[in-house]
Every structure is written in structure tokens, then in C-alpha cells.
Amino acid sequence: MKKHIFSLLAVINSLFSFSQIGINTPTPQKTLHVNGSLQVTRELNLGGDDATEGNAGNKGQILTSNGSGQVPNWTDPNTSAGSMTFSGLGERTTLSNIIQPSVTVYVPYETIPLISANLMYETSTNSFVVLKAGYYQCMAFIRFDFLSSPTGAANTGIFIVRNDFPNVIGAVTSSVISGQTGLYSNLAGIGYFNVGDKIKTAIIVGGKEWKYDVGNLSITRIN
């Protein structure tokens, strides 16, 4: 018992005497440097401060490094490095109003059936706002409607943009012949987005009036 008390007093004394403590090493490299094995019999708490205890994570989660000087975090195995996290889905089904040629339109999505903590949808700008920086894979689909348009040829362009056109990460263009009543377009793109960046679908048609109806945008974060 005396041995345990003396050992504890020695550790407490070293806390007040030195900024770094070494166990089995005379030259500690960090605040606490253990040269040997470590046994933990209860939870391991990450983060926290003088008034708040750290996060012990959930059952089945793994410890993930965030780099030098950063607090690690608990993550699910299916969101570890090299995996992909489905982050958002926007859909629309109704027919738009007539749009004049050469006008850039940012597609508004009427329903957001799926969205993760990586994103939020902003209706005022028709965009998904990035809340967690990283690489995102975006896939978009749109159907053009030319039933009410004057006859004549046209060119269509659909783009996935970062913030505003022409900052494009994916694009597809098509030609419309005179008398054609509709067109289906699909595209995909991958880009790095910072926190606060916006992901949008932009459409431009040159040569004739047009409408659009069915469409969707799916977004996946590459971890």
C-alpha cells in the first residue's frame, strides 16, 4: 500500500514540476509519453475540457486520426478512409415555366428525401451547402420539354457547378433538332468542396424557348 501511495505522490509531484511526463523514458516527447504497453479497463474519452468530459464514442466505432495537433474522433467502420458516404438527394417532378434562350437556370429541387450531416439544402439559392469539406461525387439527371417551344434547332447544356457558373465540375451538352419534343440528360462530376461551398445544377439552352420537369441530383462524399 505504501508503495502505491509513494508512486502516486511521485506522479503528482512531477505534474507540478514538469510540462511533460515520461513513463519508462527520461525524454518524453509529448505531455504524457508511455514507453510500453497501455491497459485501459474502461472507456476512452476524446476531446472535452475542464468543464466537459470527452466523447467515449458508440459501440462498434473506431478511432480515426485527424492529423498532427488535431483531436481524433470516433467513426463508423463504413465511413473510414477510402469509403464513400451518401450525403444528399434532391428530386423534382413538376413542369417549369417557359424559359427564354441563353438564360442560366439553377434547378430548384422540390423534395430532399435524403440528406446527411455533411450537407444542408438552401432553397433561396437552389443549392446544397457543404458542411464538411472534402471530395464529393455528384450525379445529375434532367428532362427537357420542348412541346410548347417554337420549331427550330437548339443546343442544351447541363452543368454541376461549385457556387456559380462557370465554375464547373461536370458538364454535358446536346443538340436538339427541329421538331424534337424532349431530351434526357445525365452527367457526373467529382470536385473538392470547402465548408460553405454550394453544389448546384445549372442549365442553359440556346436557340429556343424551353421547359424542364423531371430531375434529380445525388451527392456522395468520398472519405
pLDDT digits (tens, 9 = 90+) for 98-135: 888 899 999 999 999 999 999 999 999 999 999 999 99
The pLDDT of residue 3 is 46
Exposure pattern of 100-120 as b/e (b: 16+ CB <10 Å)?
eeeeebbbbbeebeebbebbe
According to DSSP H, which parts of the chain are helical?
2-17
CA distance 61 to 223: 16
| 13-60 tens-digit pLDDT | 555 555 788 788 888 888 788 888 878 788 888 777 777 887 887 766
Strand ranges in 57-133 using DSSP code E only, listed in sequence order: 62-64, 73-75, 84-92, 105-106, 111-115, 119-122, 127-130
Q: What is the mean pLDDT of residues 202-214?
A: 89
Q: Which three cell numbers stand for residue 132?
A: 464538411
pLDDT surpasses 50 at 184:
yes
The pLDDT of residue 71 is 79
Residues 6+ apart with CB under 8 A from 150: 208, 209
Q: What is the dihedral of CA 135, 216, 129, 123, to 10 degrees?
A: 170
| 58-107 tens-digit pLDDT | 766 777 777 777 778 776 665 545 578 899 999 999 999 888 889 999 99
Domain ranges of the chain: 1-39, 50-81, 84-222
Is the CB of residue 136 less than 8 Å from the CB of residue 86?
A: no
pLDDT surpasses 70 at 5:
no
Is the CB of residue 83 less than 8 Å from the CB of residue 64?
A: no
Higher pLDDT: 151 or 95? It is 95
- Band (142; pLDDT cuts 50, 70, 90): very high
Question: Looking up cell 441563353, which residue turns up?
Answer: 102
CATH architecture type of domain 84-222 = Sandwich (2.60)
The pLDDT of residue 73 is 79
CA distance 185 to 207: 18
The pLDDT of residue 178 is 82
Higher pLDDT: 114 or 150? It is 114
- Band (146; pLDDT cuts 50, 70, 90): confident
Higher pLDDT: 223 or 94? It is 94
CA distance to 23, 33, 116, per residue, from 18 (Å): 13, 13, 45
The number of beta carbons lying within 10 Å of the beta carbon of residue 175 is 11
Q: Identify how many contiguous H helices and E strands the chain contains and give both numbers.
A: 1, 15
173: helix, strand or coil: strand
The pLDDT of residue 6 is 46
The pLDDT of residue 193 is 97
CA distance 104 to 87: 26
